[in-house]
Amino acid sequence: ATHEETLGFQTEVKQLLHLMIHSLYSNREIFLREMISNAADACDKLRYAALDNDALYEGDSELRIEIEHDAKAGTVTVRDNGVGMNREEVIANLGTIARSGTAEFLKQLSGEQQKDARLIGQFGVGFYSGFIVADEITVRTRKAGSDQAEGVEWRSKGEGEFSVADIEREVHGTEITLHLKSDAEEFADDFRLKSLVRKYSDHIEVPVRMPKVETAQDEDGNEIEGSETTTWETVNEATALWVRPKGEVSDEEYKGFYKHVAHDFSDPLTWSHNKVEGKLEYTSLLYVPGRAPFDLYERDGARGVKLYVQRVFIMDDAEQFLPLYLRFIKGVLDTRELSLNVSRELLQQDPKVEKIKSAVTKRGLDMLKKLAKDKEAYQTFWNTFGSVLKEGPAEDFANREKIAELLRFSTTHTDSTTQDQSLADYIGRMQEGQQKIYYIVADSFNAAKSSPHLEIFRKKGIEVLLLHDRIDEWLMSHLNEFDGKTFVDVAKGELDLGEIEGEEEKKAQEETAKAKEDLVKRVKEALGEDVQEVKVTHRLTDSPACVVLPEHEMGFQMRRIMEAAGQ
């Protein structure tokens, strides 16, 4: 090896290594899944790159992953003939955590959270998980299509630094050797490895092979010494999971595949697998994660599906096929509608993309509708992603009724901060003669709940939605009606309770207004320019007065947002 240098891991990597080794011990077998997942990704990438340039295969186009072990030496080796890495890539990929936001995320974790394996998995344990079982890892790799002298060897004990050196490497692709810790030698075992491959990597399309040693026998059934021959046996199912018929895929397989696709560590909440033929042909396998990724609200956070064209992997995070308000959905889209050499730029121009997007969006919304039948699971979903879904009516006018069905609110019916009431629930409880859906927007649940605007509604037993998320006013400005009933902000404009109020009540109110004209005049004079108008109201039952906005004015919440934005 020449041109050898020793480099330090990025600080975050050191932190991650430390956290991982301590929090994932009881899950340590997942290291194999991570290695295979990376090897499969590398094969996908080579297949894609070779579409343009067949020579990258270097005459070996049969993509595969091989796993070997050596019980005596205590090693496990995972090898692929995928895309490989050059020196620069090795340093960047196996020396840092490239994904943005991870550093901040790590900093935010409290001591308790750091012990939580599921949180660690939030940014994908990935390659570094090898150090849960290994006290040294060697990576030998060469980028497909490069010179044989351009191989790279990476070595590390996972303790803060790694070395890289140039090596001669005949084949392209990557070979990772894990030198097992003495308490992890159980993994250098044929049976153990095989069952782990089946458990975690059955759904990987690339064949995962393991050597099978056979010995010839003489007439008496004795093994003939020196007659061992090794054949490679494919251990996994090796067909793309989404291509298989629904009925033949088990829940465990769907969950395992999710972890591969989403780089997540924990189970998804639900999924939806659809094969669509006819005018628009595509297969989609969409998942709702059980937890929010740390970059859910970041502008450039990873989102979108893994895109395949006729089973050939094209790109990760293809965000063109789902609207922003469904950005939490993960999964795979495979279609023959696009050409194999499609790029991100071309996707933006292809009219078929819009069609597929609208179809996939419907699938996504249907999946949520189904999930809503399971109240507990849906509540988990809502608590995690509800405020993202609330962006929907503004972004997707055509589907706003469907989205509205999926919304959940706090209301005066439960007076609880948990958002768990649907608009259908509300409508089911409407008073006789009530034609509108009443709501109030405030900065906090308590402010909404104790608003004087609610007094008359509480007295009359009319339910009001208590909106208190930052996005709620924005949401309501795009929701005009649901099921034919208009939404009314109880803090704005004239209060019209419609037919809920009897004629007599109305008359009595008018009389009071007349009788108090003098008082109104004096109050108006006292407040002067600060108010537009002073009126006698029947909104209040306990409070003497309240501030009301004209019907078409921007609400308080929006005003504050605009002010904060310097407008």
Give the footprint of Mg ion on this chain (CB under 5 A): 37-38, 126
Given strand 485-489, what is the order of strands in its sheet?
410-411, 464-467, 437-441, 485-489, 481-482
Phi, psi values for residue 229, rounded to 5°: -125, 140
Rounded least distance, CB 198 to Mg ion, Å = 20
**Residue nearer to ligand ADP on the CB measure, 95 or 555:** 95
**Residue nearer to ligand ADP on the CB measure, 16 or 338:** 16
Of 42, 50, 404, 479, which lies in the binding site for ligand ADP, with binding defined by CB under 6 A? 42
**Residue nearer to Mg ion on the CB measure, 78 or 167:** 78
State the SS3 of 169-183: CCCCEEEEEEEECHH
3-class secondary-structure state, position 196? helix
Here's the x/- map for ligand ADP, 491-520, by CB under 6 A: it reads as ------------------------------
Report the residue number whose CB is nearest to ligand ADP.
126
Q: Is 160 left (phi over 0), alpha (psi -120 to 50) or beta?
A: left
- Looking at residue 217, the DSSP 8-state letter turns out to be B
- Residues with Cβ within 8 Å of 457's Cβ and at least 6 positions away in sequence, in order, are 412, 438, 463, 464, 490
**Residue nearer to ligand ADP on the CB measure, 42 or 464:** 42
Of 74, 95, 126, 364, which lies in the binding site for ligand ADP, with binding defined by CB under 6 A? 126
342 binds, among ligand ADP, Mg ion, none (CB under 5 to 8 A by kind): none
**Residue nearer to Mg ion on the CB measure, 24 or 479:** 24
473 binds, among Mg ion, ligand ADP, none (CB under 5 to 8 A by kind): none
Stretch that binds ligand ADP, among 33-41, 396-404, 456-464, 485-493 (CB under 6 A): 33-41
Of 31, 48, 127, 294, which lies in the binding site for ligand ADP, with binding defined by CB under 6 A? 127
The whole-angstrom separation of Cα 47 and Cα 53 is 10
Q: Which of residues 205-264 bind ligand ADP (CB under 6 A)?
A: 263
Of 74, 82, 207, 293, which lies in the binding site for ligand ADP, with binding defined by CB under 6 A? 82
The whole-angstrom separation of Cα 27 and Cα 5 is 33
**Residue nearer to ligand ADP on the CB measure, 171 or 372:** 171
85 binds, among ligand ADP, Mg ion, none (CB under 5 to 8 A by kind): ligand ADP
Stretch that binds ligand ADP, among 34-42, 194-202, 387-395, 428-436 (CB under 6 A): 34-42
The whole-angstrom separation of Cα 386 and Cα 402 is 14
The whole-angstrom separation of Cα 359 and Cα 282 is 10
Nearest to 151 by CA among 138, 137, 136, 135: 138
* Site membership for ligand ADP, residue 288 (CB under 6 A): no
**Residue nearer to ligand ADP on the CB measure, 35 or 479:** 35
**Residue nearer to Mg ion on the CB measure, 261 or 367:** 261
* Site membership for ligand ADP, residue 31 (CB under 6 A): no
**Residue nearer to ligand ADP on the CB measure, 164 or 404:** 164
Rounded least distance, CB 196 to ligand ADP, Å = 17
Element (H, E) at 464: strand 464-467
Question: Could you write out the DSSP letters of every residue in 234-261?
Answer: E-S--S-GGGS-GGGS-HHHHHHHHHHH
The answer to whether 472 touches 441, Cβ cutoff 8 Å, is yes
Beta strands 485-489 and 229-234, pairing class: unpaired
Residue 370, CA atoms < 13 Å, CB-side half-sphere: 13
Q: Which of residues 130-189 bind ligand ADP (CB under 6 A)?
A: 174
Rounded least distance, CB 252 to ligand ADP, Å = 22
- Residues with Cβ within 8 Å of 122's Cβ and at least 6 positions away in sequence, in order, are 105, 264, 265, 291, 293, 294
Q: Which residues bind ligand ADP (CB under 6 A)?
A: 34, 38-39, 41-42, 80, 82-85, 93-94, 124, 126-127, 174, 263
